[in-house]
Chains A and B, each alone.
Chain A
Amino acid sequence: MKTLTIVLTDGPYISEYAEIASKLAEEALKQYQVNIFLYLDAVHIPKKSQNPSFFNNVGELFTELAEKGAIIRACARCAAARGYLAEEDNTLKGSNCEDYLTGIKISSLYELSEMLKKSDRVISLSR
């Protein structure tokens, strides 16, 4: 199976990119292994308890992608800068950050390099 990696740098709602990425990933999962790397402000995307009044809940869209098999990782430096800390507590369901939704983990930036190296296609969305 071919691999698609999507790189995001913007947070949710300030642009439509996170939602567009989720739609692309949803469709791509039918024929690709999908990786998503959350970089810079994109580390806000998987935050728990989002409650947008007029938009789709982007965090929920991403946790659903993880349930369907997408590998979603957030940059550790960017996450720490914004108050999301990786923990070793394995009781956190499907994540290593208590502030994150299920299925999305914080990892090293080197994981981006690994994802790129294994990819057949890469899509980068950034304002």
Chain B
Amino acid sequence: MKSVFCLLDTAPYGSEKAFGALNAAAVSLTEMSVTFGLYGDGVYLAAADQDSTELGVPNLSDILYSYGELRVIVHEPSLIERGLFGETLIETIELVDEEDFLEEMENSDFVILF
């Protein structure tokens, strides 16, 4: 089975990229091993209790949480840099350091950047 690493370094809601990355990961889950990596501003997607009601767009962290079979890794230094380390995050994520994040990318067959 091939493995795909979806790399998101853009915050949710400010653009379509987080939504697009989630959709691309979802359609790939049935036939490939998918890892969803949050780096830089992408780590904002891991924050729990998001409320996007007034934006008129889906709650993207709820979507991420709902894909239980999707492996989600979050770059811990990016969380710390943004003051999110002590915040409540969705439960399905794994925090990894720089080295482990890079290793996950290297071990995947393909990396799709969003």
Contact status B24-A126, CB under 8 Å: no
Interface residues on A, range: 10 to 19
**Given A9-B114, A119-B110, does the pair A113, B17 have CB atoms closer than 8 Å?**
no
Give the 7 A-B residue pairs with the shortest CB-CB distance, closest first. Answer: A122-B110, A113-B28, A124-B112, A126-B113, A124-B113, A113-B27, A40-B20
Minimum distance in angstroms from A78 CB to a CB of chain B? 7
Interface residues of B in 11-27 (CB under 8 A from A): 16-17, 20, 23-24, 27
Residue B24 contacts which of A41, A109, A119, A121 (CB distance < 8 angstroms)?
A109
Contact status B32-A117, CB under 8 Å: yes
Q: Number of B residues contacting the other chain (C-beta, 8 Å)?
A: 18
**Given A9-B17, A9-B20, A40-B17, does the pair A117, B112 have CB atoms closer than 8 Å?**
no
Bound Cα distance A39, B109 (Å):
20
The answer to whether B96 has its CB under 8 Å from any CB of chain A is no
**Given A7-B112, A124-B111, A124-B112, does the pair A109, B2 have CB atoms closer than 8 Å?**
no
State the majority secondary structure of interface residues on B: mixed
The answer to whether A55 has its CB under 8 Å from any CB of chain B is no
How would residues 71 to 83 of chain A score, 1 for a CB under 8 Å from any chain B CB and 0 otherwise? Answer: 0000001100000
Bound Cα distance A39, B27 (Å):
13
The answer to whether A54 has its CB under 8 Å from any CB of chain B is no
The answer to whether B31 has its CB under 8 Å from any CB of chain A is yes
Closest B residue to A119 using CB positions: B110
Bound Cα distance A121, B4 (Å):
11
A–B Cβ pairs within 8 angstroms, 6 of them: A77-B23, A109-B27, A113-B27, A113-B31, A121-B110, A125-B113
Contact status B112-A122, CB under 8 Å: yes
Contact status A117-B113, CB under 8 Å: no
